[in-house]
Structure 1
């Protein structure tokens, strides 16, 4: 199938749908200028100080890192927090939102991204399920209790050359101990998931009301397949159709679905021109 015919088939799926489910992985943010940490080399290009230490992503994205070297761990997460706060979502977010708000039964978002880009683009907070948590929320490292709070008052000062936090790290308001992002990390038995569970419950209630859902999946690869598994479950349980937008891995389950080997922004822009 040519790209032109694939785009036309995808546009037809959008016009036929009664509900839109946007599923997104790290590739969704690349067009906004965000790194996707693809492989150790890509990660170390973004964080050369960690490359000099031969620290790979799963070693710093780990609650043990906060116990081992607090300033390095918060140097990494503090930098990411600043980056996500300062990044404007690309125009594709707005295109998707326009389609979503025209659907008879509305929309939901399922994302493994912790960056808050959908909220920054104006999506309804009540329609977003962040399955790995959010960098914009904190919890106790221990944790001393089931408490999650906003990170808005934490303004990290970072030595980007050394990946070091220069100011005071955030602390738990209940016990005074170390605070960490409310993100599901590697080797993480302490992640507090009640915020994510509330989002999941809202999404499940909504899914029970739709009959012809269309899944538009963006930038979700097979290395950590959480988003792909969710997309495929929707096809099986809710008889939906899938538009998979993925530059490197666009394969789809059936001929009724559409795979587009294009970046998120380019694909969404091209589809919008057809609608």
Structure 2
């Protein structure tokens, strides 16, 4: 319904917008945070450049892979090589990475408010930063979980211990065959619990979080709600961006805010109740705090 009208990319006075958004945060009955990959990128967790080259130079040289994102989709010849890639990827992005400052600052900004986080990020940063687990919904999975590749059942499994073994024991871009994870039910190879196709497992934890999110939205229907979107790109707008726009349209008391470097915009229907900041998320959080 939004594409029939022009989408605003207004900028306006920066300090005025910061003050306005600060006021909206303070007066909101509830804050719904929608977080995408741009939030982790602002924390320095880049999937390309020096960070990629430091950890995956051998894969880059052999296959011409240029970033961690595309490397996760590469059709490796063997499971030994597939898990050599993924074990490194998981280790540096989930287990051996510090808490990003933007996440700590964001918690400081909203910790006294009634908030809920909806995120497509899979790096566990929100929990590591101290956000209430009962107020988080990771819609697209978690680097720390595996599932059956078929899948034969709707359950996920923690992977930290085996991932660390894979990284320590891999040689020539391959892990030992005996470390290849197998489904404990059917024996098929395990795979990442990431939503890339129709085989994604939505386990009990996923459904519980979805229920908490839907209940939060229901409880605050018609109230003064701030929909705060941070770093959400165009890959999966139907999860955060479009629903935030729709709920702002439906609730005349709601306000939509978007902070995203290069992609801060809103539809014309809600322009008067929107605050769009085309800037780095970390700088925004530092300034508003």
**Bin of the TM-score, shorter chain as denominator length:** 0.7 to 0.9
Matched, 1:217 2:229: yes
Moved beyond 3 Å, runs of 4+: 41-48, 54-62, 156-167, 236-239
Paired residue for 1:230? 243
Q: Distance in 2 between matches of 1:71 and 1:261?
A: 43
Q: Distance in 2 between matches of 1:208 and 1:255?
A: 24
Shift in Å at residue 208 of structure 1?
Answer: 0.9
Matches within 5 A, 1:119-134: 119-134=127-142
Contact (CA 8 Å) 1:138, 1:180: kept in 2 or not? Answer: yes
Q: Which runs of 5+ in 2 are unaligned?
A: 1-11
Q: TM-score, normalised by structure 1?
A: 0.83
Paired residue for 2:209? 199
Paired residue for 1:27? 38
Contact (CA 8 Å) 1:27, 1:36: kept in 2 or not? Answer: no
Contact (CA 8 Å) 2:229, 2:257: kept in 1 or not? Answer: yes
Q: How many residues align?
A: 263
CA deviation vs aligned residue, 1:75-108 (integer Å, no higher than 9, x gap): 33212211121112222222222332312xx111
Paired residue for 1:262? 279
Contact (CA 8 Å) 2:47, 2:69: kept in 1 or not? Answer: no
Where 2:263 maps in the other structure, the secondary structure is: coil
Q: Distance in 2 between matches of 1:163 and 1:227?
A: 37
Shift in Å at residue 16 of structure 1?
Answer: 1.8
Contact (CA 8 Å) 2:39, 2:102: kept in 1 or not? Answer: no
Contact (CA 8 Å) 2:183, 2:190: kept in 1 or not? Answer: yes
Mark the structure with the bigger radius of gyration: 2
Where 2:31 maps in the other structure, the secondary structure is: strand
Shift in Å at residue 233 of structure 1?
Answer: 3.3
Where 2:142 maps in the other structure, the secondary structure is: strand
Contact (CA 8 Å) 1:135, 1:182: kept in 2 or not? Answer: yes
Where 2:157 maps in the other structure, the secondary structure is: strand
Paired residue for 1:118? 126
Where 1:102 maps in the other structure, the secondary structure is: coil
Shift in Å at residue 65 of structure 1?
Answer: 4.2
Q: Distance in 2 between matches of 1:51 and 1:271?
A: 43
Q: Distance in 2 between matches of 1:163 and 1:17?
A: 51
Q: TM-score, normalised by structure 2?
A: 0.79
Contact (CA 8 Å) 2:227, 2:257: kept in 1 or not? Answer: yes
CA deviation vs aligned residue, 1:152-193 (integer Å, no higher than 9, x gap): 3323434999754457132222233311121111xx221112
